[in-house]
Structure formats: C-alpha cells, structure tokens
Amino acid sequence: MSKPVLSYLGETKLALGPAENVEGHPWRRAEADGIVWLVLDCADTSTNTISEVVLEGLNAEVEALEKSSPKAVVLRSAKKNGFAAGADINGFREMTGDGAIDMLRKGAEVLDRFEKLPCPTIAVVHGMALGAGFEIALACDYRIAVDGATFGFPEVNLGLHPGLGGTYRLPALIDPLEAMTMMLTGKTAYTKKAKSLGIVDAVVEERHVEAAVEAIVAGKVDKQKPGLKAKALQFDAARGLVANRMRSETGKKAKKEHYPAPYALIDIWEEHGDDRKAMQKAEIESFAELLKSDTSQNLQRVFFLQQSLKNGARGEDGIDHVHVIGAGEMGAEIAAWSAIKGKRVTLGDINLKPLGKAVKTAAKICKDKHLTSIETRDVLDRLIPDPKGYGLARADLVIEAATENPELKEKIYADAEGRMKPDAILATNTSSLRLSELGSNLKNPNRFAGLHFFNPVSKMQLVEVVSQDGTDEKVLERLMAFCGEISRLPVPVTDYPGFLVNRALTPYLMEAMVLMEEGVDKEVIDKAAIDFGMPMGPVALADQVGLDICLHVAESLKSSLDKPMPEINDELRRKVDAGNTGKKSGKGFYDWSDGTPRPDTDKAGPDDLTDRLILPMLDGCVECLRKGVARNADEVDGAMIFATGFAPFRGGPMHYAETRGTEEIRKRLEELAERHGNRFAPDPGWADL
C-alpha cells in the first residue's frame, strides 16, 4: 500500500499510512529516527471526535507497539483546528445500560495499555483538546502545547463528567482542586494557564515541535510530579472537608435535581480519590447512570439544536467588508466581533467619543477571548473608526445599530441607500420596531432585512435573521451564512412585534414588574425563576438588558399585539426617567456596584409565582409558531436557550411544554386568566400541538 504524504500545520511532513487491520482506521502512522508518530485524522470531517472507531484504531496501534517498542510514541492531529473536540455525541445515543459500561471499560483498557508502554509517550496539542480528546492526551507521559492550545472537560454541559479516566488522571497530574474545578465548571485552560497548572510540560511554536520531542526523548524534560496538596488529599478526612465545600459552591450555581453530574463527580472523588482502580470503576458506572438521566438527555438535545442552527449558517456570505452605523454599546460590539472573526469593518458615528470607546471595547474583548498581542493588533487593524462614513460605499453589508428611533433610522437609510453598492445588503439591529414600517420608503426593500444581535454580542450566540415581505431570499441566505462566518447561531424569523425572542421574553419580564407592584419582593421573584432553572431572575435580567430598552419593547408590544400584555410598572418608568437604567448605569432595580446580584431569601412567594412567570413565555412561543414567525418548535427552543438562557436542562420551552403536557399547561393558563386577567388566556395554537 502506498503511504500518502500528509502535512499537519504545514511544518512537518511524514509519510503517513493507516494500519490495515481496522476498518475505517483513523490513525495514520509514520516512523522517523526510531520515533513513531500516530496522527489522528477522522474521515469526512474537519474536526476530530473520539468514537469507538478511534479507540479501536488506537488499540490496534497499541498491540503493534507492545510487540515492538520504539524510542517514543507521539500522538497528534492532522486537523488544523485542533487535537480533538471530545467524544462523538452521536455515539451517545447507542450507549445505554450495560452497553455503555462495556464500551467505557474497553476505552479505559485501551488508554491503560497505552499508558503502560515502556517508551516515552507524548501528546502534541494544537488548538482544542477537549473531553475525551483531553483524556487521551492525559494518558501520555508528556504533553507539548503549540501556542494557542486549549484544554478542558466540557462534559458537564452535557449533564456528564469525564468517562475515560479524566476523573483520576487530571487530579493525579495537577493540583486536585484545580482539576476538580475544571471538571465541575467545564472551564477551559488556555496555553499559559495549562502550563502554569502543570497540564503541559512545554509550550512551543509549531516549527519547534520536533525539537521538543527530541528533548523529551533525550531526557532533558522533567515529568510533572504531584504537589503537597495532592498528597494531603490522599487522606479521606481532608477530601471530605474539601468535598463539602465543593458541594456548597456548586449549590450556589446549580441545584442537584437539575444538574446531578457535578454532585456525582464530587461523590466519587470523595469516596475513591485515593484508589485509582476504584475511581475508574466508579467513574464508568456513574457516567453510564448519568447518560440516561433526563438532564443529560435534554442537554444532548440542546447540543443537537446548536448543531442544527450551525448547519443553517453554511454557505458563502460574499461579505468581506462590514460597515456599522452607530458606535453605541451594540454597534461597538457588533463591529468588534466582526473584526475578530476576520471581517474588514468600518464603524461610523457622528461623535468621535464613542468611536474611541469602541476601539477600547474591541481590545478588551480580544483580551477576554485570549487573543495574542499579534492577533489583537490584526483585529484593531481591521476595525477602522469612520466618522465620515466613507466605508458605506465599499461595504458588502451595512448594519444600522442606531437608537430605537424610527425617524432617525429612516434618515440613516435614505442617506445609506444613495451611497451603498448596488448589491450591498442593508440590515437593522432593531429589537422591536417593525421592518415593514422602517423600510417603507426604501428604493430597494428586497435588500433590507434584520440582524438582531443580543447584548453582549461577544458572549451571546444567537442572532435573529428577520425577513420582511420584500426581502430577497438570496439576501437572507447570505445573512445566515454571515452569522456562521462570525461564529454565531442564526435563527430565521419573520417580521412580527418583538420578532420571536422579545415577543416571548417580554411578558416574563413585565409580569415580574406586576408582581413587584403587588408587593412581592424582587429577590423572591428572581429566586423562583432561578429555582426553575433560569440563569438569572427576570428583575436582574431586565436590569442587565437595560430598563430603557425593556420599557421601549414593552410599549411597542403593548400597542402592536392583539393579546393583552402586563401593565407597565410605574416604578419602571420612574427609574428610566431618572437614568437608573440598570447594569449599564450601575443601578436599576438592583445596585450593580458589587457585580451581578444573586437573590438570597427564604421568603415564600404566591403559590402560582413560577407559572405566572414561565407560562406566558411558553404561550408567546406558541403564538409565534401559530403565526409562522418561527419555522418549527426546535428552532424556537434553540432561540430561547441561546438568547435567554432558558433552563437548558429542560431542553427548551417547547420541549418543556411537551414534557409537562400541553393540555395541562393550557388548562393552567385558563386558571391563571380567571385569577389574574386575559393576559394569561392560552393562545389558540395550544390546540394544534
């Protein structure tokens, strides 16, 4: 068999060929100077994921290495975007009961045998090494990180914990408390952090990888050794104290009944942290048990919803140059994020001060996203303050992000249309105004649409791509693809008051205002929502969104919808008039000077408090489905999860409605309508679900 020459990251070229005894073998093998290189190259994908086939292939290679030991074995990836993104989630659907335990045991056995090879084993990691990919790297004696590498265990986001040895290999390698924190939170350790923690033994540039491997083989690189804290935590009493503290801290962020995985991980570490063999057995059994839990099943559903939204963003956008009009908070973030994702951006504003602030915002986002100084320089080179609006004439996409003033927006459009390229797209970031009215005077309404980003753009994944009656289908396809190009999840919606997300979210926020007027403490209201599973209560969320924006959207929906909306709180108007608009001003209903408020109260609210908050949100989603604002229930669920944080472990609002029972919810809404008014009357669409 001929062995193709394969280049990974363009630096090292080796004659690599797959083993012939495993069908679909994803490991390509080469040998140079007595060192065996195994390069993971999963077929028909740009990203490696760890599947049964990958582990079977590694097993075949281990069998060969056990028979004839080389000077060293090096594992790395042929994919440019990283080592491996974790386990193949599609395979989880086949892992049930004893089958899951058997599969995990086989995987653990492969890594144990690889770990015991008599020669040095080295993982060379560029890009991401996550989940099971990280676990394979941990089974090596050494880890070399190419600058930009990241390591992490995101399994908690799927309602799981590591299942291929991560629960005992990482705490044995680094400070056990740091290891547990990584597994409990799913947070990623970037290159420098990974080196300081002891996850990696060397950080090098790609061109120095071979030299680093040679240094390890020559015995010039010391292996990481456990510290004093690791030795202290070998004692049951010490682990018990630390485990209790971990449970307390975890409890502040997630309830056990909602997210059991972190608590299961703490339990097995506390009980078996000094016994690797027992830990391995407990890890496998716990993983298999969690895999069939409602939480994990729903979080896996969320993962596939995300993949579906990503699939909708495929294609060529034909957009190289973006011009953003308005350098306020939203405009600055849209411009910065577009530049970070490689677009050339001009940012226009009649005032110079916000333009200067926007550049600082971009630099801060770069820092938060762990961009290098060179990458940050390139981003700032692509982001051009443009007070005269010269970029309008060259832009492929013009995004208007001015204040929610229809007259101002119409003036901007009139000026922009006369200067834009004939094939350029004009998009508005309005959160509530109807596109049919905003674009009524446009000469080319077919090139006008909505791109509704959520604040902050650099953190919120969802974008509503809004069509109006005249929008050309090709324009919408390009905007969907543009969202994909800037790593955002687009959901297509039609022109409707509040579109999808704000139409569903606003009754939730406004009902909280009504409850406060009835005398219910804001902390009681917010705690009820958090206990349901929302990441933040409605009062704190209103503060974060901006009380001025909430007021504007509420007034807009109240005047536009057939359905009654909750009355607008007088206190809300007073706070907006006084400039106390929430987080951005430092004070709204909460004082934000000490960071995000977390309600701490033992007071009880009304017996129907949670349903008064949550069910109107579900009813708004049903209305949007009935009206064709959204295409299907899955996209509604994806939009609400990724834009509002709707309790992910419940699988989305429509999935929650199906699980609880649509008829039961419809009857509950009727009860609430009798008690509190017609704003709770169930939408006719419930009958069709």
CA–CA distance, 416 with 468 (Å, rounded to integer): 19
CA–CA distance, 517 with 164 (Å, rounded to integer): 53
CA–CA distance, 409 with 432 (Å, rounded to integer): 13
CA–CA distance, 71 with 68 (Å, rounded to integer): 10
Residue type present at position 296: S
- Residue 222: partners with Cβ closer than 8 Å, 6 or more residues away: 201
Do the bridges between strand 321-325 and strand 344-348 make them parallel or antiparallel, or are there none, so unpaired?
parallel
**Phi/psi at 580 (5° precision):** -90, 75
Alpha-carbon dihedral sign for residues 384, 388, 394, 398 = positive
Report residue 593 as tokens.
């000077």
Q: Which residue has the tokens 């909280």?
A: 512
Residue 460 sits at the vertex; the CA angle it makes with 458 and 462, to the nearest 5 degrees, is 120
Q: Which ranges of 400-533 does DSSP label H, i.e. alpha helix?
A: 406-417, 435-438, 473-485, 501-517, 522-532
Report residue 74 as tokens.
């090096």
| Residues 452/442, Cβ–Cβ less than 8 Å | no
Contacts made by residues 528-534, CB under 8 angstroms, sequence distance 24+ = 528/605, 528/609, 528/610, 528/613, 529/610, 529/613, 529/614, 530/599, 531/255, 531/610, 532/610, 532/613, 532/614, 532/647, 533/258, 533/647, 533/648, 533/649, 533/650, 534/644, 534/645, 534/646, 534/647
Q: Three-state DSSP class for 26?
A: coil
Of 25, 161, 272, 452, the catalytic one is 452
- Give Cα separations from 378 to 323, 359, 374, 396, 458 (angstroms): 18, 13, 6, 20, 17
CA–CA distance, 417 with 340 (Å, rounded to integer): 27
**What is the residue-wise DSSP string for 545-571?**
H-HHHHHHHHHHHHHH-SS--PPPPHH
- Residues forming beta bridges with residue 465, ordered by sequence position: 451, 492
Report residue 459 as tokens.
């953190």
Report residue 606 as tokens.
């009304």
| Residues 657/623, Cβ–Cβ less than 8 Å | no
Note if 655 is an active site residue: no
| Residues 212/126, Cβ–Cβ less than 8 Å | no
Residue type present at position 67: K
- Residues forming beta bridges with residue 385, ordered by sequence position: 347
Q: Three-state DSSP class for 619?
A: helix
Residue 456 preceded by cis peptide, ω within 30: yes
Residue 307: other Cβ atoms inside 10 A:
14
- Residue 438: partners with Cβ closer than 8 Å, 6 or more residues away: 406, 409, 410, 413, 428, 430
Catalytic residues: 452
